[in-house]
Amino acid sequence: MLTYSNAKINIGLNIVEKRPDGFHNIETVFFPIGMRDAIEIADSKEDTDYTFSASGIPIDIDPSENIVVKAYNLIRAKYNFPAQDIHLHKSIPFGAGLGGGSANAAYMIKLLNQKFDLKMTDFEMEELVSQLGSDCAFFIKNKPAFAIEKGEKLTTIELDLKGYYFLLIKPDIHISTPEAYANITPKKTEISLRDLIQQPIENWKATIKNDFEASIFPKHPQLAEIKKELYEQGAVYAAMSGSGSSMFGIFKDEPQILLQWKKQFCWQEQF
C-alpha cells in the first residue's frame, strides 16, 4: 500500500514567548504544498517487527531513529497487525523548514489506519503523532491551519491561493535549531497572525514576517539575497519557511528559475 506525504511552508512565524520547559510558544500559519515523499508498506515475510529501506535523498541515520519507524512502532504498540516491510522514498530536503519528516510520521499513521481499519479518528491520530514532533499533527488533516503554542495547537483556516504561482529555493545551507533560536527575542504580537493572514496577499509583505529571519540572515546573507531577488522578480510575498533554509515566493504570474538558482534545490508549482 502506497501513500505520498507532502511538505508544508510557514506563512509568517512569530516567536511569542519562552516556555518554562525551555521550548518557545509560537504562532504561525501552515500551508501544504505539492512537494512529496513516498511511503510504501507491505506485509513482511521476515521474522522481525519490521524491515526498512529507503531511496532518493540519502538518509544517514539508523533506521530505528527514522521518524517513519518511530511512528510505526508507536501504532504497533497500541494495535495488533502484521509486521510490515517499510520503504521510504525521500524527495523533500532535510533541514529546510518544510516539515518533511513530520509529514512522513503523520502519513505513516494514516496509512496504517487505512490498511488495517484501525478506526482512529483524526483527533486520536493528531494526539499520537504529536508525541513525535510539534508540527506533525498538521499533516493529519493537511489543510491550511493557524498554529500556536509549540505548533501543535491547530485551528483550520480558510486560505485560498488558487491560481498563484509558487517558487521555492533551498540553498546548500544547514541551520540547526539552536542556531535558529540564537539571538531571538520573544515578543507578543499586537495583531494576531490569524487576522493578518486574512488581509489581501498584497498586504503581507508589510505585515507578515518570520522572526527567524532577523537572526539567521546576518549569518547566512545568501538567504537575504534570495528573498530580495524573489521580490525583484515580482513576488507579491516572499519569506523563509520555518527556521529555514528554504526561501519561497508567491507570484501572480509564473516566475522563471534564474540560472544561479538552478544550482540549488528548486521547486515550482501553481496552487
Virtual CA dihedral for 183, 173, 149, 129, nearest 10 degrees?
Answer: -150
Which helix or strand (DSSP H or E) is residue 7 part of? strand 2-18
CA distance 126 to 124: 5
Catalytic residue among 70, 110, 135, 209: 135
CA distance 248 to 166: 7
- Catalytic residue status for 8: yes
Q: How far apart are CA 56 and CA 5, in angstroms?
A: 14
Do residues 127 and 157 lie in contact, with contact meaning Cβ atoms separated by under 8 Å? no
Q: Which residue in the list 8, 90, 110, 170 is annotated as catalytic?
A: 8
Can you tell me whether residue 241 is helix, strand or coil? coil
Active site residues per annotation: 8, 135
